[in-house]
Structure 1
Amino acid sequence: MSRLLTICLLSLALAVQCVLSENPAEGLNIHIRGQLQQYEKYLANDDGSHKEDLQKLIGIYETALKTEDFNAKQALVNEVPSKFSAEFGQFVQSKLQEDQINEDISGAISFYKSLLAKGEFKADIEKALVELESLQKQTQFEAKRDGFLNLEKGFSPEFVNFLKSDALPQINKDLKSGVEFFEKVLAESDVKYATEIKGLKAQAEAALADSVPIDDKQKTLYEIRNPANADLIEYLKAKFAELN
């Protein structure tokens, strides 16, 4: 399925962080290091319009990484959204979403190439690969995202059923993991963004129904991982590192 490889890699990352759950500071450090790599990449490719904010953002995360006290480390990360303008927050969110969709497309290409070895639905698989490789070259984020999320709409029912046997169980598993994570966050007495998180939880729960098409499940999985609120994304990432 189009997100299968990415989902598997994410599951591996979750497992690693779960192992580190006895040391929440190190779990948060994993998140911080990952964010730093992305922000440093954005700075290297920046045209100068966001240079100062990116340098400031990197500085905050570097300070957080060096901070030993977990609560102080977490506070630095949680306070990041309040340190920048809404415009810069939107810029960072858009870059993170671009990275995610590019990663998903690359994972999808690897997955479909692996299916060729099975010798079934060769024409359908090759068609999907052509479309995915075309999306890789697409420079407009919305067009790339929509093309990826709607890829299966052009598949034959037989090909969709073939894919379901490979991907559906994993997609449902990740949706369930999302529901469980949101429940953990909502159970905290000082939870922020409760209304929005409840909405994400309800969205994931609804997508688990057997009647929901696999492409809609996939779309929901993308949406609960990429909510529109940039501050909420940062909050959930920090909570994930803390709770896992």
Structure 2
Amino acid sequence: MKCKNCGASVPSRLPACEYCGTANEVYIRRKQELELLKNIFNKARRRAIIETVPNVVIRVLNRFIFIAAMMLLVVLSISFAVFCLSSRIPVGNEKEHLMVLEKMRNEKRYDEIEDYVYRYDLYSDQYAVYLQSIKIHNTIDTFWSYKDSYENIRKEIGNGANPHPYTEEDARKKYVDMMTKAYEIFHYADEGILSENREYYQECSMEVMACLKYILGLNDEEIKKLCEYKYAYSDEFTDYCRKLYDQYSSQ
């Protein structure tokens, strides 16, 4: 192209004439058009990016949630498998447990049976004999504990100390507690005593019967009436026990 000022031939890629320095309008116009196209392209690109970002974020979040859910599922599956394996006792161990428990039961080491059962979590049906023996033992043990506490309270009251560490109401409540455990012992037969525990249960019930008759002074009719109540924790049962206490404590 020719320079508009001096007429010299000037390449269109140069911004000005090489001879007179006049600005090259073609170059300037093309540069402006190029800048305009760049601006248009950049705006379109930015808009596309802005519109695309939420979708990208959502896809990333969905992928993250999916991966996290799969990891959680794997962890739960492993935990469940470990739990099942730990709770399932191999046949060999089960036989060993039964042998140990049977030896303890024959030697009447019921406290040790309870500790052993708890330690190894042996609460399935095959250990029903030992679970029932624990229940009987705990009830008779609590009965004797209440009986000793009752006698200690009565002894303190009888000593005439002033002020009294206990009151008649304390003794009366402990008497009711003791009778409640006696009632439970007598009524275990209603649940069905397993043959392996029948001898031990009979020993316990006879001991309780002897205590009620020869230590606490109840007669057969009073013991029979005590056992006839439907519930040991009913108001009627409690009132009857309190009546027995008032009757025999004054003698």
Using CA pairs under 8 Å that are at least 6 residues apart, name the structure with larger relative contact order, 1 or 2.
Answer: 1
In the superposition, the TM-score normalised over structure 1's length comes to: 0.27
Choose 1 or 2 for highest CA Rg.
2
In the superposition, the TM-score normalised over structure 2's length comes to: 0.26
